[in-house]
Amino acid sequence: MKTVGVAILGLGVVGSGTYTILRDHREFYRRTQDIDLSVECVLEINKQKALALGIEENRICGDIAEVISNPAVDIVVEVIGGVEPARSFVLAALHSGKTVVTSNKELFCKHWHELEAAARRTNAGLYFEASCVGGVPIIRTLIDGMQANVIHSLTGIINGTTNYILTRMAREGAGYAEVLKDAQALGYAEANPSADVDGYDAAYKLSILSSLAFHTKVPLENVYREGISHIALQDIAYGDELGYVLKLLAIGKFDGHKCIEARVHPAFVRKDHPLAAVNDSFNAVYLQGDSVGDIMLYGRGAGALPTGSAIVSDVIYAATHGEAKYSGFKNTEHAEAGIRFVTDFKSRYYVRFTAKDRAGVLAKVAGILAKYNISIAELVQKDGSSESVPIILVTHETTELSVRAAVEKIAALDTVEQVDSVIRVEG
């Protein structure tokens, strides 16, 4: 039986979960995978945290040099998070010829090209299943399950924190600030929640997933990003009346040649769309391949054991596959020459504005929309005060820049007090 030595860098939530799985399932992997996965050492500043997990003191390292100089370590698992010192530690491991498994989406998104170049130089493995969508095996599906397809689109709910917040707002009618506070108390959101609620986390993941799906580098700089902090409870309620559910979506589209869309933003989806039923902290990715058609993967997008599951899956894969496999595209810092990233993308749009209760307002608004070739699919005027009323309209499919220009003109009308919200409608 083959023995494979593992080192874990960091014993936070995910690192502790990974160690627990490796410890508790060791005999199971011996029996089912014919390998003995031995945690040879951990890198953890807080020694008491390691000891509390039952890790022997002589296996607790204080610096990366101890880890990479240990001849018994074959695979290094990085679960520190952030860019530094994780980047330096991973590069040190790869330069020493050790295979690396990481869950670090920010590091991988920003430095994938650099890490892969280092891995290629020493023929080391580089695995990152846990970087996107927690325990859902989306990376392996894209690499090893969808090779027969040209993937034309992926649409995902890939951030559990924002999905939890939007689910609670819709289900209970609770305000954004209140639910965010609860999410922080439950550990779903950090004290500084910007990475989640401003869409950065989802943008990192979309950069990685769309690069794999479309077989060309989709850098973070080419991912449009918009968060949920501006979302009003009224819009969730009005959307519900119109048959929609609001989600933070990550959307990638590919024409099969040179044009790519990559965008993260709140969007309404119809209640009968599969993604509409993905609630709380769960994640899902909806893929469309030219041969297989539609596929959706669903599961827990975060947490100690779900993410640990993805990490250990990579560890087992690396231990049982002798030859390292790298990205099948030109993996550089920026996109390949000739790739065009679409910024004037197409969608339907939900627009809510507050207008003075006077005759002719809708005629003026309709005139502006017509000037930009925007047609109205639905229009609702809600009850308001004696002086002003909220008006909601949903457009047929149109272009982003046309809507922006039209909204600017609508906001300038003397009969319109303000444009309250503009939300894309997908699916």
Enumerate the domain spans of the chain: 2-131, 138-300, 346-426
User: What is the rounded average pLDDT for all residues in the chain?
Assistant: 95
d(CA 223, CA 251): 10
pLDDT digits (tens, 9 = 90+) for 241-299: 999 999 999 999 999 889 999 999 999 999 999 999 999 999 999 999 999 999 999 99
Question: Which residues are CB-contacts of 291 (< 8 A; sequence separation ≥ 6)?
Answer: 148, 149, 150
Q: Write down the catalytic residue from 205, 217, 247, 253.
A: 205
Per CATH, the homologous superfamily of domain 346-426 is ACT domain (3.30.70.260)
- Contact assessment for residue 343 and residue 224, using Cβ atoms and an 8 Å cutoff: yes
Distance of CA 235 to the CA centre of its chain: 23
2-131, CATH topology level: Rossmann fold (3.40.50)
Give residue 384's pLDDT.
67
Give residue 177's pLDDT.
92
Question: Which residues are CB-contacts of 139 (< 8 A; sequence separation ≥ 6)?
Answer: 128, 129, 131, 132, 208, 209, 212
Give residue 328's pLDDT.
87
Give residue 106's pLDDT.
97
Is 356 among the residues known to form the active site?
Answer: no
- In 255-335, DSSP assigns E strands to 259-270, 282-289, 293-300
- Classified as helix, coil or strand, 4 is strand
Q: Which CATH number fits domain 138-300: 3.40.50.10860, 3.30.360.10, 3.30.1370.60, 3.40.50.300?
A: 3.30.360.10
Residues of the chain with pLDDT under 70: 384-386
Q: Token pair for residue 329?
A: 């595209």
Q: Token pair for residue 347?
A: 């969608």
